Structure 1
Amino acid sequence: MNFALVLFLLLVATAILWVIDRFYAKKRRAPGTPSPWWVEYGASFFPVILIVFGLRSFIVEPFKIPSGSMIPTLLVGDFILVNKWTYGIRLPVINKKIIDVNSPKRGDVMVFRYPADPSMDYIKRVVGLPGDRIEYVDKRLRINGEAVPITGQDDYLHPDRLYYSPRFQEKLGAVEHSVLIERDVPPLVPQVLDYPHRENCTYTTSGVRCTVPEGHYFVMGDNRDASSDSRVWGFVPDENIVGRAFFIWFNFNDMKRIGGFH
């Protein structure tokens, strides 16, 4: 369901009822006669829906993490907030940028419309910017020929499955974050889709090498061997960007997770 479209339609409907109630119905009915219930209720909801629509469309939008592709940074069930204006002001519903503000940076955790199905929202970490040469070969990430710094950490215990994964600290730009890289999973990329600018990538049994087209971004999940990302379905076009994730505001299973994250 396209919630933004539903909210927009509700906004339009309640706005019409508010206008009818304020400028037409009140002037024509007899003093002391109440408005029809559907006009009164619809008009009263208009200011509330207007505020929610404005906040959600231009300031901040809530999301829930549905999968484990961003473990250990984000867990299944995390409720997060996404900054809607940091990458530019966009028209709601059609997501067209009208005011440029900033561009995504390496290391940002970004929400975007899945290129293969724009009705779905995905969340990944920005790895490659327009023009970058990205290599993920033998599970080592290189950007423009330089290896991304990575150091070992304590293994990560998956609380739901009670098994450990090798955890590493990676530095992308100014952002340091944890990633999981399984030792027993082969480096080749399985089931690659046919996506726009597919010719910019070369796949081997050791991994993938790509040149990011202009106006696009290369993204990956922090749970590297359990993430369907740009290695599989290609680049994220600028027009698909929703915003930058920056805060966990709730998790039913662990209240300690509330707060900012990298």
Structure 2
Amino acid sequence: MFLLKIAKEWIGTIAISFVLAMIVGIFLIQPYKVDGHSMDPTLRDGQRVFVSKLPHTFSYYPNYGDIVIIDSRVHRHRSFMDDVMDNPLFQLMGNNDDRTFYVKRVIGKPGDVLELKDHEVYRNGEPLDEPYVKEAMEQSDGERWVVPDGHIFVMGDNRNNSEDSRAIGFIPLDHVMGKKVL
């Protein structure tokens, strides 16, 4: 009888811990691992970062220059179940489907006009001061984008080795998983 009581207490404690960990991972903070070299030299392949989930939870725009985690599947709707399944606890239990998260830098917000000229990025006619960029872009000049409402435009710091908004398109606000804090 004594062992049954102890087992019930442990099960209760573990269940409460699981629920609290889920809440923290879905709504507040979550670790991510950088996969690839698109953010060189700022972030390295394999580096771990902690991401504030508050922009995602409260649907507000990150600032220009913020490093964000995005769900690159921009042509599909995200649901609350996506947020639950993206939680690290489910990843530990073997939920390793084809989800693709990218680490990128915010370059444009709704209404911004972005252009590539002289191997630099211009926002609303002004060249961006980007000391974090690895090297000059090899991409041809003349590309132009106008960021629509409810979206952002992101690019990697290693512009010549980055699959970003130039390739996948504008990022819906609900696909911004959070911004890097550590």
TM-score by length of 1: 0.55
The yes-or-no answer on 1:143 pairing with 2:123 is yes
Could you say which residue in structure 2 is the equivalent of 1:157? none
Matched, 1:53 2:7: no
Aligned partner of 2:139 among 173, 187, 195: 187
The equivalent residue for 1:80 is: 49
Task: Kindly indicate which of the two structures has a greater share of residues assigned to strand.
Answer: 1
SS of the equivalent of 2:179 reads strand
Residue in 2 aligned with 1:108?
Answer: 66
Larger fraction in helix: 2
Change (3 A) 1:210 1:47: same
2:4 is matched with 34
Runs of 4+ in 1 over 6 A off after TM superposition: none
Superimposed CA distance per residue, residues 157-198 of structure 1 (whole angstroms, 9 cap, x where no aligned partner): xxxxxxxxxxxxx1xxxxxx411125xx7423xxxxxxxxxx
Q: Offset at 1:58?
A: 1.6
The total of aligned residue pairs comes to 159
Which of 170, 175, 178 lines up with 2:132 in the alignment?
A: 178
TM-score (norm 2): 0.77
Determine which structure has more spread, i.e. the larger CA radius of gyration: 1
Whole-Å Cα distance in 2 between the matches of residues 240 and 209 of structure 1? Answer: 22
Which runs of no fewer than 5 residues in structure 2 stay unpaired? 79-98
Q: Percent identity at matched positions?
A: 32
Indicate the structure whose relative CO is greater, using CA pairs within 8 Å and at least 6 residues apart: 2
Distance 1:116 1:70, change over 3 A: farther
Structure 1, unpaired ranges of 5+: 1-30, 90-98, 150-169, 171-176, 189-205, 248-262
Query: 1:198-220: per-residue Cα shift (whole Å, max 9, x none)?
Result: xxxxxxxx252100111111100
Report the Cα offset of residue 44 of structure 1.
4.0
Structure 2 residue aligned with 1:65: 34
Instruction: Give the CA deviation at 1:138.
Output: 3.3
Counterpart CA distance in 2 for 1:211 and 1:76 is 31
2:176 matches 1:241: yes
